[in-house]
Structure 1
Amino acid sequence: MTKPGRPGARRAGSKKGATKGTGGLGRKALEGRGPTPKAEDRAWHPAGKRKAAAERYAAAGGKGKPGQKPQSNINRGSRAKSTDDTETVTGRNSVLEAMRTKIPATAFYIAQRVEMDDRVKEMLAIARHRDIPVMEVTRQELDRMAGFDGVHQGVALKVPPYEYQHPQDVLEDVLNRNETPLFVALDGITDPRNLGAIIRSTAAFGGQGVILPQRRSASVNSAAWKTSAGAAARIPVAIAPNLTNTLKEFKKQGVFILGLDGGGDVELPQLELADRPVVIVVGSEGKGLSRLVTEHCDQIVSIPISAATESLNAGIATSVALYQVATMRQAAQ
């Protein structure tokens, strides 16, 4: 008679399958699936999508190898993002202007089923002529590249980090061309969209450069590129290790320093230095010009506005000042 055992107990030797220590040699061997395909050979992978787009581009008569990835041998700048050594220019006007000025772009992105106008056709022609890889992507991908507040209009361009110049080099270039210097220096402007607007206004009214302090300043990033509408490709932007010292050096070379401030000692329409070499210094909306910069200004200039308006945006104030200076210079000729 069999003795009852513990519930769930099993007699010795009744265990089936591989025993302890066999390493599972009794199991049926698994069949392998072969080596993992390369990323570019997987249709759903971003690399596969790039390869397919490049093949379509090459089949349409474009140059470049199918599956070619954009490469960049540009050294990372001091203000470049730590995770990427490129900036993304978005918007049809900005992208076209950057391509026209032959910035060494690394890739041109175009949305699937994009509306073709003359600007897009010119972009594609320039890309083919300069061997810039063309990537066809979804609008969702362009949305991600442009950022939450970016407007890409179906196109984007990857460009290397902006190459800043030295203020003294920019000044010497202007003097060598026998032009009257007109620069804008920013003192505490941290919004890149303000910077882009100021670069655009500088280009529109005959300015030859924008000077940024090395610290506590906006940089020429994708937002500044977008707002400048491509003017960042034409107007040099210089980095001053010390803005105060740079202004002092400019003064030694006959350049007058004009600070914009609501409490200025002269109103803009009465400015008498417009036809001289000048640097217009613009401070932040909140703090205005710093004390050290104010001490080195030859004049503090105010823009007359209605009492109902407390102040002007830094970009707008710069545009008004540049327009007034340009108008006075034309009248003096």
Structure 2
Amino acid sequence: MAGLLLVATTACAGPGTATPAAGTGVVGPGTAAATATASPGTDGTPLDPETTPGVDVPGVGAPHQQPAFASKALQVLATLPVKGRAPKTGYSRNQFGPAWADVDHNGCDTRNDMLRRDLKALALKPGTRDCVVLSGILNDPYTAAAINFLRGNATSTAVQIDHVVALSDAWQKGAQQLSPAQRLSFANDPLNLLAVDGPANQSKSDGDAATWLPPNKSYRCSYVARQISVKSSYGLWVTQAEHDAMARVLADCPDALAPTNQPAAAPAQAAAPAPAQQPAPAQVQMAPAPAPAPAAVTYANCTAVRAAGAAPIHIGQPGYSSRLDRDGDGVGCE
């Protein structure tokens, strides 16, 4: 899915992410339910689904890669609409699709993807195609503590996967207007997910920046910048109190950048001088209203690309999307 222009990390950045945000060419979410759950976390999200493969959802998601970088977080904050909360009426976890769906088609549910991304010294369960994490060590961004993760009914909740912008908060600030496929993407987007200390996540609940910030003050710039990126990516708004809280945090790091879902383009190779004309300078634009924009050409998957005779499809060509480019080399559907 095509990512929108977002923002990049601060010097105190946490775990990297990069799945494209909701955009054009999104196929609707699958209808299967998550394979298993344990104790619910914030927003009713299952904390430790004992699954092998997760629910495979066609056309949603992309490989997890490190974020590209774009605008200053303060600049993007200035583009977010400021409104009051909408009613929470109609909210449920199910509005964001099956919990921890396999949106990137790698055979693993999103929770295990995030544990494998954020934990170190991993031990993986045999027979799960290196999917299910049995143990590991988390350098927790919220508390700055090192946490030993051990999978089990009584131990898994020590490390939880937090929606940086909580699902309930998103529902009250624009997500009601998103399509089901966009909400599924939002709930499984690595840009919006972090493995964190369980008690800290429970303390946060569905709070926004006006009501909760990480106890680890050195991570607050990164945390707020990431929230701004997510809200910009999905066309969500902030309340006045939330806007002001974000601005106060970023006042201590005014040059902070926030992560974007759009992968960084490969450096252009030098071309031979053209005496007849000079290349126009590149234009850098901020999206004034960060909502998904339709593309002239979109493909639901590589099957559609091949059927159109467009494979392999290169970055910059009509219809290219990072979700078609599994290895992130700029060439999709190879």
TM over 0.5: no
Q: TM-score, normalized by length of structure 1? A: 0.20
Return the structure number with greater relative CO, CA threshold 8 A, min gap 6. 2
Q: TM-score, normalized by length of structure 2? A: 0.20
* More helix as a share of residues: 1
| Larger radius of gyration between Structure 1 and Structure 2 | 1
